[in-house]
Structure 1
Amino acid sequence: MSQTETVIVRILDKEYHIACPASESANLERAAIYLDTKMRDIRRTGKVVGAERIAVMAALNITYALHRKEQEQASSDESSEQVQQLVSRVQHSLDETK
């Protein structure tokens, strides 16, 4: 069983106590810093007011970026597969001409 610990993070000047596996505490802290930065960037624009709205906008922006990365990765994987198929067909053609 994985050992848990409580990690204290600050997001928009508010402190949160979050339980997580001990092995993931550094990742949680980095994620909190990233979220805090994104939320502060949104607040700084002055276009979104209120912590809840800022949090929703940050979540949407982060989710959008993640979704785009996943699409790019899928596209890259598909391209790699197509190249691999092409190499295989070329190799097969070369083997037939021997």
Structure 2
Amino acid sequence: MKQMEVTIMGQSYLLGCPEGGEAALTAAVAQVDREMSAIRDAGKVKARERIAVLAALNLAYQLADVPREVAAPAPSVSSPEVDTLIKRLDEALGHDGQLL
């Protein structure tokens, strides 16, 4: 697994990425950054953790709103990879709080 350094809302994160998944991860990071920045720039929410939760909910709602026949199939990700990613995000959030 390759590691990529990305920036979301001015904060750097080191993320694991499967070989060949760099473009998809870069696009996902850009989408999350746009969503979080828009929430922050609206000025009503200041805490990074709350901004992240609201951005996640907005993106999940947008994804759920896509008709199933148009939506791309979800990539298969093993549970240990998901657990590792969540742990890394929790560590990166540090003082801002736990992701899940």
Please state if 1:39 is matched with 2:8.
no
Q: TM-score, normalised by structure 2?
A: 0.65
> Sequence identity of aligned pairs in percent?
39
Structure 2, unpaired ranges of 5+? 72-100
Map 1:15-34 → 2, pairs under 5 A: 15-34=12-31
Partner residue in 2 for 1:9: 6
Amino acid at match of 2:13: Y
| TM norm structure 1 | 0.66
SS in structure 2 of the partner of residue 53 of structure 1? helix
Offset of residue 71 of structure 1 = 5.7
Counterparts of 1:62-73 in structure 2, within 5 Å, are: 62-70=59-67, 73=70
CA distance in 2, matches of 1:22, 1:43: 32
Instruction: List gaps (5 residues or longer) in structure 1.
Output: 75-98
Letter in 2 for 1:10: T
Structure possessing the higher relative contact order (Cα contacts under 8 Å, 6 or more residues apart)? 2
Letter of the 1:66 partner, please give it: L
Q: How far apart, in 2, do the equivalents of 1:73 and 1:20 lie?
A: 25
Q: Alignment length, in residue pairs?
A: 71
Alpha-carbon RMSD across the aligned residues, in angstroms, is 1.8
Over 3 Å off, 4+ runs: 70-74
Larger Cα Rg: Structure 1 or Structure 2? 1
Relative distance call for 1:67 and 1:6 in structure 2 (3 A) is: same
Question: What is the aligned partner in structure 2 of residue 50 from structure 1?
Answer: 47
